[in-house]
Chain A
């Protein structure tokens, strides 16, 4: 058999990697190569270098080291029982692709994942070697995200964390029982233990030793995880509950929700569906409300008896419609926490309201100029020259926001 071309390998191994939603390259330490001794920089927020027609940003070279895998996870395109074409990069090929793409300003860095070959330790060792080659041999100062293999030895994960900006381990599915059903070789307890180890290693790296020396940085951009949504029967309340636990237990930077998407050569165990993109979007909105808007889990998920989010309305609007007694709020008097609950007000709008309010009272047009989405907010606030009168309590308020009962087909 003739050796496979680099182009062909890249096609197979990036195709195999695209079901991982994460492409973030933000939040790591500042690095620069202005001194001319290396290549690359990172500064606070990352850059999305391109967008694919699926609307997802391309910030990193997201590839698998290999898509050969000994596991048989039903939702995964790379499972052992699938007939997709297989390929494997050499360490040198990954390093070269990363550096050459980076030099042409195509990417912010590398997001490397892998199928499990031979053993978890062997796979993790190869991945750590790629990171080390990039950092040490080639002086690469761009972003590196490594997917860690939960069953790998802690020393290997330790080494990966010294070179990578971010580590991630996917919990895959929202409940332990679905993981056991659809990913029989994976152990949800082990995945959690691996995340606990990353948190402990990261915390240990910030403590100075008794000599005052700071240990080397460990995964400065933290860890993240991904859950597939819509493959099993878990409700949104279960999904968000699990996410909340994960954020608090392992100090995750992000939980990614990935709508279960058709894959080539699917298994009969998991019939393909149209990806629940609207649901995925609502989950992200709810995730933001939980983390940045002071909402409690119960407040968001209690709105509907079946434990799912309203697909027609964003979760904040749904909450406001169910709690009209809190409204209308006077934008000239209400506190930050209250303003954050107004549909159509984001954190920036609220910040602008608070800073301007110190100098003068606000009118309706001021709110528009501050970036508030008044089409939604108008029913819930009063300003110097604005009152919603009976609008807040009107029976058809929901109907004004909900889309007409018809959905376009994606296929």
Chain B
């Protein structure tokens, strides 16, 4: 029976090489005895010969390689044999590795998980102490740690990536990782070294004590993630019994304490701070209006939107363009017509000879109405009540601006300006009037162009452009 010795360092690599050779020459699992660590050198004599050159290359699922590379660091002496047994079975049924219900695969997966957890806990719970001169060119630290499995070697590169500008040693019973001048070496284990005290540990313990909230004592949650076996090498763990014992009394004290009078400083600060002046009820400029709009709570939409989006444009613009409501982009930026529909509008308006910067652009409803779905906000059409509530602002904008012509885009804008949003497809391109007689040209909302089937894009775009050209002609006719 071949006895396969595996070295203490580089175990995973050595197992993989040996297993590949053994499987290639067809040695079944029951004929192999695996050994780890201290061994007589002559045992190497039993190592299998190189496979015959005509042997088919051994292929195993990649997932098995990852599994084996981790499980090799487990403390269970049977791990090498179990891995080899699975390797043997995988030759016939490669799909086995994905079988979450196979008892042997599950057992190895559990071992893999145990090693990963051990590695993770080692990343978490190693505590360095400074052993060199803090002002030296390269600082030196050392730690003693006792992993449950053989985690030190697979974890060492993590520490090398993390603490690249200092020298460090992590000593454990099985092996020692050393990082000096950028070179990582794994050497034999050693007994616990005597590390001198490090003053920073006291600060760290202070932090640990202070960050703890005595009103939320959850000891099980702590010990399940930080089991007691690690406590002896954690400087902060010494504070735990005391914190736990004192917690209920501290929590009771906080509740029992009567409220105290505020310190003198509070009154002084409160009087020096000036609250923002309240916005006037009926602002008399467009700028004042957008400030007042900020505080609007006339309908429930203000609660979920980022902000009210005011109109934008010259205060003497002859043309007022009214859309439906801000979209996702407009809501974030606080400016109207900056999203996809706004960009489309700009392009077509430009082609129709309308310069957006000379017009006053606004929306019938000033807050974004949406339904949250995952990471997206899905636009929702505002209802009649919301349009009605927001008309107050639209009317106010109109009164301040006194436009010669209004372009109403979409049913919501039509409803806000003419009283009805019905049959917009039949009414588009025609002139109507607001209640006070301002001419309103009706058309569709540019987002309609984004939504319609692709083959209708050119037709729809041409119709929209024609409507805007009508608006331009009308504006010229009105002498603007």
Contact = CB atoms under 8 A, between A and B. Distances in A.
A338 interface: no
Interface in B353-383: 370, 372-377
Contacts of A297: 372
A164 interface: no
A80 B208 contact: no
Contacts of B95: 358-359
B101 A262 contact: no
A32 interface: yes
Interface in A4-44: 6-7, 10-12, 14-15, 17-19, 32-41, 43
B452 interface: no
Interface string A46-89: 01111111111110011000000010100000001111000000
Contacts of A185: 273
Interface of A: 6-7, 10-12, 14-15, 17-19, 32-41, 43, 47-58, 61-62, 70, 72, 80-83, 97, 100-101, 103-106, 139, 175-176, 185, 189, 192-193, 195-196, 199-200, 242, 244-245, 247-249, 251, 259, 261-268, 272, 274-275, 277, 291, 297, 352-353, 355-356, 358-360, 362-363, 365-367, 369-370, 410-411
Contacts of A367: 101
A199 to B, nearest CB: 6
Contacts of A411: 248, 251-252, 255
A104 B165 CA distance: 13
A356 to B, nearest CB: 4
Contact of B263 (A61, A83, A176, A248): A83
Contacts of A268: 259
A104 B160 contact: no
B303 interface: yes
B225 A57 contact: yes
Contacts of A7: 202-203, 206
B203 A97 contact: yes
A39 B101 contact: no
B163 to A, nearest CB: 7
Interface in B177-228: 182, 198, 200-204, 206-222, 225-226
A275 B215 contact: yes
Nearest to A277: B216
A103 B141 contact: yes
Contact of B207 (A14, A47, A82): A14
Contacts of A245: 304, 372
Interface residues of B, number: 95
Contacts of A72: 266, 270
Contacts of A356: 98-101
A83 B260 contact: yes
Q: Determine chain B's interface SS by DSSP, over half rule.
A: helix
B221 A249 contact: no
B213 A41 contact: no
Nearest to A194: B306
B162 interface: yes
Contacts of A248: 370, 372-377
B161 interface: yes
A193 B163 CA distance: 39
A271 to B, nearest CB: 9
Contact of B101 (A14, A274, A291, A362): A362
Interface of B: 95-96, 98-101, 103, 106, 120, 123-130, 139, 141, 143, 158-166, 182, 198, 200-204, 206-222, 225-226, 234, 236, 240, 243-244, 247-248, 251-252, 254-255, 257, 259-260, 262-263, 265-266, 269-270, 273, 294, 302-307, 328, 331-334, 370, 372-377
Contacts of A366: 100-101
A266 B120 contact: no
In the A-B complex, the 5 residue pairs with the smallest Cβ-Cβ separation, listed nearest first, are A55-B221, A366-B101, A55-B218, A33-B164, A81-B262
A43 B161 contact: yes
19 contacts: A7-B206, A12-B210, A32-B161, A33-B161, A33-B165, A34-B182, A41-B162, A54-B212, A55-B222, A56-B211, A101-B200, A103-B141, A104-B130, A139-B165, A277-B218, A359-B99, A363-B101, A366-B101, A370-B100
A384 to B, nearest CB: 11
A271 B370 CA distance: 36
Nearest to B129: A104
A369 B372 contact: no
A264 B211 CA distance: 14
A33 B382 CA distance: 54
Contacts of B252: 411
A191 B100 CA distance: 47
Given A83-B260, A249-B377, A11 B206 contact: yes
Contacts of B263: 81, 83
A262 B260 contact: no
Given A41-B164, A101-B207, A272-B254, 9 more contacts: A17-B211, A51-B222, A52-B211, A103-B166, A245-B372, A359-B95, A359-B96, A359-B98, A366-B100
A63 B194 CA distance: 32
B254 A262 contact: yes
B216 A275 contact: yes
Nearest to B95: A359
Contact of B236 (A38, A50, A196, A261): A50
A14 B236 CA distance: 15
A262 B306 contact: no
A275 B252 CA distance: 12
A61 B222 contact: no
